[in-house]
Amino acid sequence: MSTQANLTTALSEIDCARDIVEFSTVVVARDKQLRKADHPVFLQKAALEFQSRFLPNFEESIRAGRSWGYATTCNAVSRKAGGQVGRDVCERIASRVSLLDHALIGKIGIRALSIFAASFGRHSNRAECRKGAIRIAKFCREESRPLQELNNLSLAALINGFSKWPEEADFRQAAVAIAGDVIRRAGRHHQLSDFTQQGLVSLVNGFSKWPDEAASRQAAATLALEILHRSGRLCEFPQQGLAILVNGFSKWPEELACGQVTIAIAGEVLRRVARFHEFGEQDLANLVNGFSKWPDEAVSRQATIAIASELLHRADQLPHYSQQGLANLVNGFCKWPEDATCRKAAIAIAGEVLWRAVQLPDQSEAKRS
């Protein structure tokens, strides 16, 4: 079937969907199948249909036990390909969620709420998305028992949605409740053996947004121990996952398990030297900044030197690095000032920073004109 025929069929399927269950099933299936060129067209059409046909009946559908279709559709259209209309729909449904009473939000179900939280978190600058997420956070804080029903990926979706507003007390308290649930699970017979790689990475990333909370620290240490139990399988983690883990664990350098797993990851990074070209700029910056929290460890130093060498090989790409990324790299390299490679990499970054400073007056003048 041609690309155009696929899109035509997909659009016809959402037009013919009789209820939110059929509609969401089509949206989720086609969201995974359509090619890049057709994906935004389909999702934006789906968002418009969702808004006009199904959103007005949201509360009625909750009472009828049909919340799941709303959550999965919102999750799909709120992504980048959903465009402006997808963002608007996400904001509208967040507004409806924010107004639900305790009984009605409880009927949505915790799995659907975790999907809503992740969706709202994608648009943290929207006031209604924040309000909707706050309503979910309050429910999680008040009714922590339903958290036990979630698998690790749903827990991760919750905390990463909340992490977009780390300064808010409601999200902090909900994060503590989620951390408590992870800690309790670790005490069971099978511990965290059912947690996936993606779940482990996402949970560490989420807890790292509240490093001063004792529960976050304890949960992160618990997850670190689980990863240490799988240290022979670190080779299965993607590059970005390793970088996120190191960045997360670096928030608690005093925790023995966090340090041990970071050193193990440094060893894995060294084994991937030939594949360094696959690491993104942000991944390299996170790794260097994280390894620098354990400067006395030889493997941290060796991994950082290897990354410094890679950075020098791709020095022509420095103009594409974010200011935060450059800062993280320098912060890491400066922990080993006696090493010539780290020093050269830091000097190259200094040159890029200087070049940007020189260009600023010209850029400001261009904007004024």
How much is the pLDDT for 140?
94
How much is the pLDDT for 362?
55
Q: CB-hemisphere CA count at 13 Å for 353? A: 13
pLDDT category, 34, cuts 50, 70, 90?
A: confident
Residues 17-39, mean pLDDT to the nearest whole number? 91
How much is the pLDDT for 195?
95
Mean pLDDT (the chain, rounded): 93
Q: Is the pLDDT of residue 361 over 90?
A: no
How much is the pLDDT for 199?
97
How much is the pLDDT for 367?
47
How much is the pLDDT for 369?
42
pLDDT category, 97, cuts 50, 70, 90?
A: very high
The pLDDT tens digits of the residues spanning 196-249 come to: 999 999 999 999 999 999 999 999 999 999 999 998 999 999 999 999 999 999
Residues 82-96, mean pLDDT to the nearest whole number? 97
Q: Is the pLDDT of residue 130 over 90?
A: yes
Q: Are 197 and 237 in contact (CB under 8 A)?
A: yes
In this predicted structure, which of 7-21, 56-70, 182-196 has the lowest mean pLDDT?
A: 182-196
Q: Is the pLDDT of residue 26 over 80?
A: yes
How much is the pLDDT for 49?
96
Residues 95-111, mean pLDDT to the nearest whole number? 96
The C-alpha atoms of residue 222 and residue 182 are separated, in whole angstroms, by 8
Crossing angle for the helix pair 20-33 and 67-77, nearest 10 degrees? 30
One-letter identity of residue 189: H
Q: How much of the chain, in percent, has pLDDT values that exceed 70?
A: 96
Buried-state track 174-211, b at ≥16 Cβ within 10 A, e below 16: bbbbbbebbeebbeeeeebeebebebbbbbbbbbbbbe
Q: Given phi > 0 = left and psi -120 to 50 = alpha, else beta, which region is 191?
A: left
